[in-house]
């Protein structure tokens, strides 16, 4: 499956119609999704009507949008008109009356929405495992997790079911599945992309953004969906084109690298340590000033935990049938009863202080290079059936390098580096200064040119095929 930039070239020059591109996407979904369980709802007929309208508009001489005819996937937590916003569970039953603002912007740019993608309920944990929809499988090794919570979107993009898809990231949920499946995932600066109709996504923690097969594809989609509405609680600064940034050389940068694990008791896998060292060496060869730095990670507990609990409670209060939530979600809701508005607001003040302290690292460097996760993609079922506390402990090695940057708000990207000896993708994290996605994108694109991203070639063998719901 081709990427976003190539798809737009074909559909706007007449080499392929939007309908032809869509039919390729639907055929690939029909082939792969029954096995991998990336999509929870496929909007084939609605998408065909939308693609036909794109073709008709072009035939009428109307100017094509920047995403003309591009099939896109939308994570379950994002509203699509006529679809139930399930949040990965069964507690909602009322279809959304309207598209979320980011989906409206995608359609206005010419994209075609092909379906909704799997996530764990409310995205509470970084593995796409749901009592309602079952397991989503990692296409590189179907006995492994693709991560989460945007795991369905990542699998859809990695396997070419669609060129791009939307996800969300409140503690690594774009970067984890990107790293585990070999796609590019940039968590934008807090407030860069509207969360409307919601004023926020888990308060200061969450952002919305694309998962893509290349840096250029990610940048193009960001230029379409970025920007705010008056209802948004947060706003980012800067207005430079992301697509232009991805197309230019980054210049000579000061790059700091660190393997320091932010959480006590977590051990870094040697594969990820080596990936960081190899990338540091490559960046040196590319002419950057590269040096190891000591990142002083503040304790995130007082800032993160209240917002996590408040986020779950906010979303749980909005569903149609609270009693249909998963047992662990209801447990998390009860555990968060102490997070009053006063406690939540204190956590937000802690977040501001945390951001100031952590961002001191950028007094000496322009970009920070770290691992994305501490461990390799785990076997399926790592949190299925576990309670809130055990699930949180099992998730810590996955999110330890990412949560700090959700709290700080900085842009941070998972950049593929190759394939490990276990046959699974490997990635590193690039973190930028506040509001500096352009530098992260430019450096990511330089790395992509020097070391092309891996591409999934076909179905794995000997997999369990575990896509059915778990009772």
In a domain? residue 169? yes
pLDDT per residue over 310-343, tens digit each?
999 999 999 999 999 999 999 999 999 999 999 9
Closest CA to 107 of 157, 51, 25: 51
Contacts of 192 (CB under 8 A, 6+ apart): 207, 209, 222, 226, 236, 411, 437
pLDDT per residue over 89-114, tens digit each?
999 999 999 999 999 999 999 999 99
What does 117-181 look like in DSSP terms, one character per residue? E--SGGG-SSS-EETTTEEPPPTT-TTB---SSSHHHHHHHHTTSSSEEEEEESSSTTHHHHHHH
Contacts of 450 (CB under 8 A, 6+ apart): 282, 286
Residues 261, 409: Cα–Cα separation, whole Å: 19
Q: Is 379 one of the catalytic residues?
A: no
Residues 126, 143: Cα–Cα separation, whole Å: 16
In a domain? residue 466? no
User: Residue 435: left if φ>0, alpha if ψ -120 to 50, beta else—which one?
Assistant: left
Query: Which is the catalytic residue, given 17, 75, 178, 395?
Result: 75
In a domain? residue 471? no
Residues 433, 33: Cα–Cα separation, whole Å: 38
Residues 188, 236: Cα–Cα separation, whole Å: 9
Q: What is the CATH number of the domain that holds 44?
A: 3.90.1300.10
pLDDT per residue over 332-386, tens digit each?
999 999 999 999 999 999 999 999 999 999 999 999 999 999 999 999 999 999 9
Among all chains, which residue has been given the structure tokens 């920047």? 66
In a domain? residue 462? no
User: What is residue 458's predicted lDDT score, i.e. its pLDDT?
Assistant: 85
For the record, the structure tokens of 213 come out as: 């097969």
Residues 353, 405: Cα–Cα separation, whole Å: 13
pLDDT per residue over 437-457, tens digit each?
999 999 999 999 999 999 998
What does 362-415 look like in DSSP terms, one character per residue? GGT-SEEEEES-SSPPPBTTSSTT--HHHHHHHHHHHHTTTHHHHHH---EEEE
For the record, the structure tokens of 205 come out as: 């923690």
What mean pLDDT do residues 42-58 have?
Answer: 98
Greatest Cα-to-Cα distance within the chain, rounded to the nearest angstrom: 62
What mean pLDDT do residues 293-302 have?
Answer: 96
In a domain? residue 464? no
For the record, the structure tokens of 132 come out as: 């309602």
pLDDT per residue over 245-281, tens digit each?
999 999 999 999 999 999 999 999 999 999 999 999 9
pLDDT per residue over 60-95, tens digit each?
999 999 999 999 999 999 999 999 999 999 999 999
E strand or H helix at 282, and its extent?
helix 270-285
Can you give the residue range of the structural domain that contains 131?
4-450
Cβ atoms of 381 and 438 closer than 8 Å: no
Residues 214, 35: Cα–Cα separation, whole Å: 25
Backbone dihedral angles phi then psi of residue 7, each to the nearest 5 degrees: -60, -45
Query: Which is the catalytic residue, given 25, 124, 149, 395?
Result: 149
The single-letter DSSP state of residue 95 is B
The total domain count for the chain is 1
Residues 449, 463: Cα–Cα separation, whole Å: 33
pLDDT band at 460 (very low <50, low <70, confident <90, very high): low
Q: Is 241 one of the catalytic residues?
A: no
pLDDT per residue over 157-180, tens digit each?
999 999 999 999 999 999 999 999
Q: Is 75 one of the catalytic residues?
A: yes
């Amino acid at each position: 499956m081709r990427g976003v930039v190539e798809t737009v070239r074909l559909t706007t020059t007449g080499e392929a119609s939007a309908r032809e591109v869509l039919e390729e996407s639907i055929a690939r979904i029909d082939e792969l999704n029954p096995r991998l369980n990336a999509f929870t709802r496929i909007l084939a007929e609605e998408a065909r009507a939308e693609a036909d309208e794109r073709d008709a508009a072009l035939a009428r001489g109307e100017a094509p949008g920047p995403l003309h005819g591009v099939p896109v996937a939308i994570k379950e937590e994002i509203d699509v008109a006529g679809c139930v916003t399930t949040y990965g569970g069964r507690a909602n039953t009322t279809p959304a009356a309207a598209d979320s603002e980011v989906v409206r912007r995608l359609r206005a740019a010419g994209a075609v929405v092909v379906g909704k993608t799997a996530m764990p309920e409310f995205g509470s944990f970084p593995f796409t495992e749901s009592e309602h929809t079952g397991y989503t499988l990692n296409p590189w090794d179907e006995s492994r997790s693709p991560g989460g919570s945007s795991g369905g979107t990542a699998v859809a993009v990695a396997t070419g079911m669609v060129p791009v898809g939307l996800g969300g990231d409140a503690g690594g949920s774009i970067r984890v599945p990107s790293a585990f499946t070999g796609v590019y995932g940039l968590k934008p600066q807090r407030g860069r992309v509207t969360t409307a109709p919601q004023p926020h996504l888990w308060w200061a923690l969450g952002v919305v953004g694309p998962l893509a097969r290349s840096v250029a594809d990610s940048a193009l989609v960001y230029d379409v969906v970025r920007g705010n509405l008056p209802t948004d609680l947060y706003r980012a600064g800067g207005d430079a084109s992301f697509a232009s940034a991805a197309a230019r050389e980054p210049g000579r940068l000061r790059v700091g690298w660190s393997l320091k694990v932010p959480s006590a008791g977590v051990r870094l896998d040697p594969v990820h340590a080596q990936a960081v060292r190899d990338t540091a060496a490559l960046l040196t060869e590319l002419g950057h000033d590269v040096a190891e730095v000591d990142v002083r990670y503040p304790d995130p507990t007082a800032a993160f935990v209240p917002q996590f609990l408040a986020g779950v409670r906010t979303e749980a209060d909005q569903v149609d049938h609270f009693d249909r939530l998963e047992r662990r979600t209801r447990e998390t809701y009860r555990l968060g009863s102490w997070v009053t508005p006063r406690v939540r607001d204190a956590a937000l003040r802690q977040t501001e202080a945390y951001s100031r302290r952590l961002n001191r690292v950028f007094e000496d460097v322009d970009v920070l290079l770290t691992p994305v996760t501490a461990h390799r993609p785990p076997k399926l079922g790592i949190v299925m059936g576990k309670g809130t506390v055990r699930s949180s402990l099992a998730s810590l090695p996955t999110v330890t390098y990412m949560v700090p940057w959700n709290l700080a708000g900085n842009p941070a990207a998972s950049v593929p580096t190759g394939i490990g000896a276990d046959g699974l993708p490997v990635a590193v994290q690039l973190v930028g200064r506040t509001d500096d996605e352009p530098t992260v994108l430019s450096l990511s694109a330089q790395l992509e040119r020097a070391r092309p991203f891996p591409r999934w070639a076909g179905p794995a063998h000997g997999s369990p095929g575990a896509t059915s719901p778990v009772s």
